[in-house]
Structure 1
């Protein structure tokens, strides 16, 4: 009934999230090198051989740059949508490609991986929820806005990697050109700290044990500022801020005995 999770890296320099049950695991996005993944797993005492599949959320470089080398070395299937594959120019040939659908979950051993569409400036972007015997973990980053699918899945999770990309004041006052600021906050870019907090305050289930703030901008956010904004609203939920430079500790996620109803 338990899932083990860690962010191996989170940010515009590379994203990679590990979710497993002790026997089988998946990576959501591989935007860092094979060597970095191996060394970070080794420091966490996680076997690379538990990883049985890779799931790609969208084609941007910081989510796919290490996919080809890692998948080839460990002979792993890569799940993504046909539109994402066509746009993912960094992916090399010879990969075991499997196509994703938002209507059909994928089983990797006893792990169930469900994909659903999101708003982002990519060809066919998707977020993911990974389940194992009633325990559910969401990977929700690169979100232009809070949509119905995000609300539905977030409200079912025992833990979530949740994007808090930018502080609105820092973005407005920062050095980015106007067009880039508009791209980030324009509905197909990223979630701000406040947008992520609004989602959490309104839709966090009482049984959620961990929220890992993810994909923080180096230029337009501050981990301390994000933490201070969220902490008063966490109740019994543990707050973690994922690093853009190293792995987080492993978090042990387990369904609690008494829960709110899950969406059918």
Structure 2
């Protein structure tokens, strides 16, 4: 048994990622409204009944704006660091606040969620790996550089959401003011297509089945451009571009029964998916 993953939205207008097994799931960030979260999950056969917690990567509004309503409605614990809670003003009395620390696993049912630090212009930014049985998925966005923590965790993932925020030429020749260009491309900003590709080429494990390119800039990137860039080097990894407007399909990731080709992995997902969907 492996993990089911989907992006509900990915971009500066809101970020929310689903990772779960057949019994329980978590959301990493909740930057879209409760209503949109529910609608998008329902369209792809997922249910909020399976979601047991929200993990917060950092305090920027596109990652936390949906938390107060969503967490209150479903009585979900919100895992957040003290600095992120303070700067994100997640101080509502109705929130169930839980803490996490880097490299200290949190168990949510059978899911093992482990945070790790990263460089980003936030108070206490973290990314996460989610493990179940022998399958591990990384949610690695909003990173200024592929630091040692990012490399270490990415290199062990069977699938990952990986930031590919901007094309360097589009950013530098675009309409943004210089100070914003420097912020985005600096070591505490976002990862470019080229930087993400180098991480993928140099540190992707042979068994990585899915890579979801995430947090694309509306103004400084192009989904077709970045997909073509990664497809050239994808090998047996299926490349998906997560949208800033819609949810992705649900993808099944299995570390116990690695498939040798993309077509074989699709067959595995098709065989397994009805088991998952019949529960919702």
Q: Does the pair score TM above 0.5? A: yes
Confirm whether residue 124 of structure 1 aligns to residue 124 of structure 2. Answer: yes
Q: Once the 2 structures are TM-superposed, how far is the Cα of residue 117 of structure 1 from its aligned partner?
A: 0.4
Determine the structure 2 residue equivalent to 1:105: 105
Q: Once the 2 structures are TM-superposed, how far is the Cα of residue 2 of structure 1 from its aligned partner?
A: 0.8
Confirm whether residue 213 of structure 1 aligns to residue 204 of structure 2. Answer: no
Separation in structure 1 between the aligned mates of residue 257 and residue 75 of structure 2, nearest angstrom? 38
Paired positions, count: 259
Determine the structure 2 residue equivalent to 1:133: 133
Determine the structure 1 residue equivalent to 2:272: none
Separation in structure 1 between the aligned mates of residue 98 and residue 256 of structure 2, nearest angstrom? 33
Determine the structure 1 residue equivalent to 2:264: none
**Contact residue 157 and residue 208 of structure 1 kept, 8 A:** yes
Give me the TM-score of the superposition, normalised by structure 2: 0.91
Give me the TM-score of the superposition, normalised by structure 1: 0.96
Determine the structure 1 residue equivalent to 2:8: 8
Determine the structure 1 residue equivalent to 2:234: 234
Separation in structure 1 between the aligned mates of residue 255 and residue 249 of structure 2, nearest angstrom? 19
**What does 1:1-264 correspond to in 2, within 5 Å?**
1-89=1-89, 92-257=92-257
Deviation per CA, 1:198-246: give whole Å up to 9, x if none.
0000000000000000000001000011011111100010000000001
Separation in structure 2 between the aligned mates of residue 77 and residue 38 of structure 1, nearest angstrom? 17
| Alpha-carbon spacing, 1:47–1:110, altered in 2? closer, same or farther (3 Å) | same
Q: What SS does the corresponding residue of 1:211 show, helix, strand or coil?
A: strand
Q: What SS does the corresponding residue of 2:232 show, helix, strand or coil?
A: helix
Question: Structure 1: which 5+ residue stretches go unaligned?
Answer: 260-264
Deviation per CA, 1:77-102: give whole Å up to 9, x if none.
00011111111126533200001111
Q: Once the 2 structures are TM-superposed, how far is the Cα of residue 45 of structure 1 from its aligned partner?
A: 1.2
Q: What RMSD over aligned residues (CA atoms) do the two structures have, in Å? A: 1.1
**Contact residue 61 and residue 90 of structure 1 kept, 8 A:** no
Greater CA drift, 91-100 or 26-35: 91-100
Separation in structure 1 between the aligned mates of residue 19 and residue 244 of structure 2, nearest angstrom? 18
Separation in structure 1 between the aligned mates of residue 43 and residue 258 of structure 2, nearest angstrom? 34
**Contact residue 64 and residue 91 of structure 1 kept, 8 A:** no
Q: Once the 2 structures are TM-superposed, how far is the Cα of residue 22 of structure 1 from its aligned partner?
A: 1.3
| Alpha-carbon spacing, 1:143–1:10, altered in 2? closer, same or farther (3 Å) | same
Separation in structure 1 between the aligned mates of residue 103 and residue 56 of structure 2, nearest angstrom? 16
